[in-house]
Amino acid sequence: MNIISKFTKTAVIAFLALGIVGCSNDDDNEVVVETNTIADFVSSNDNYSSLAAALDAAGLTATLDGSSNYTVFAPNNAAFSDFLAANNFNSLADVPVDLLKQVLLNHVQMGEIKAADLSTGYIESMAKGSASDENLSMYINVGDNVVINGVATVTSADIEVDNGIIHAVDQVIGLPDITTFATADPNFEILVAALTREEDYNFVSILQSTGDPSPYTVFAPTNQAFLDLLDELDLASLNDIPADLLASVLSYHVVTGANVRSTDLSNDMMVTTFETGAFTVNLGDNVTILDESGRTSTVVATDVQASNGVIHVIDQVLLPAAE
């Protein structure tokens, strides 16, 4: 063996020996693996310090720091300031913890949902309201921007972290009541116009309430359903419907004191309405409703869950019996 080979062999042995010594000290110098979870992102970004504080207060930081994947619509500090002011809270500490937890969960979905996977329609959040143990719905409107429940706009999408996706939004997404979805979903524009047509109508305040006689089940006619009604009644516009008749018709679409989901419906089920009249539910290939005027409406979408009740969408306006 020449002198160069001997030197090389000696050097390799020395290197391996140092490695063994180094390994023996691992217990004293634990290796820390850096993570970038949803909780990490929020806590390390000054623009989301209010969200980080809210997650801590609600006991949700550990959830969003774990290995399960979530999609989070993340409100910035300005959004939290607006939320506190709008609800007469001086600070996050004034928000009841149970309420704060549900509001935060209303920004979270299980799994990874990228912007390209979003489409106009309803999805579920992880929040729950007082009307039901079912998760609350969220209305996503995809156009020039992505808007949630008609209030929050996505300002930055597809922020990828270790355990999910973050979409930044410019408003806190409060717990939705019945009117939230009525105003957020453009399919209900004529319904909203009807509910608010007369100054002495109190439908909006009723359908926003969480006290008696909530919860509510609302069978909500689409815009086309109202247009078909105008043709049926030979009227030119919504304003041509007499105020008393319109109030009676609107009340006929509301059931009070019950959060009736699609799984609660049964064939030949007689339903008493807020108007005091009744209609009959029939189950078959489709769920249909027979009103007191002998007309049939089809349920085209079900179980839009709000904090104070549930909405089912129908394709014909229901008419109570003529007085």
pLDDT-based confidence at 33, cuts 50/70/90?
Answer: low
At residue 75, the pLDDT reads 98
Residue spans of the domains in the chain: they are: 38-174, 179-314
Tell me the CATH architecture of domain 38-174.
Roll (2.30)
User: In this predicted structure, what is the pLDDT of residue 26?
Assistant: 52
Element (H, E) at 108: strand 108-110
CB-facing half-sphere around the CA of 302: CA atoms within 13 A: 12
- 76 CA to centre of own chain: 18
The whole-angstrom separation of Cα 61 and Cα 54 is 9
User: Using one digit for the tens of pLDDT, what is the confidence trace for 203-226?
Assistant: 999 999 999 999 999 999 999 999
pLDDT confidence of residue 322: 83
Q: Give per-residue burial for 140-160: e unless 16+ CB within 10 Å, then b.
A: bbeeeebbbbbbbebeebeee
Structure tokens that stand for 141 in this block: 């409107």
> What is the chain's mean pLDDT, rounded?
92
38-174 and 179-314 agree in CATH topology: yes
Task: Check if the beta carbon of residue 308 is closer than 8 Å to that of residue 182.
Answer: no
Strands (E), 177-295: 216-221, 254-256, 269-272, 278-282, 288-290
| DSSP conformational letter for 284 | S
CATH number given to 179-314: 2.30.180.10
Task: Kindly report, residue by residue over 126-171, the tens digit of the pLDDT.
Answer: 999 999 999 999 999 999 999 999 999 999 999 999 999 999 999 9
> Contact, 256 vs 214, CB < 8 A?
yes
* pLDDT (0 to 100) of residue 34: 74
Q: How confident is the model at residue 4 (pLDDT cuts 50, 70, 90)?
A: very low
Dist CA 37 CA 45 (whole Å): 12
Instruction: Quote the CA–CA distance of 20 and 168 in Å, as a whole number.
Output: 48
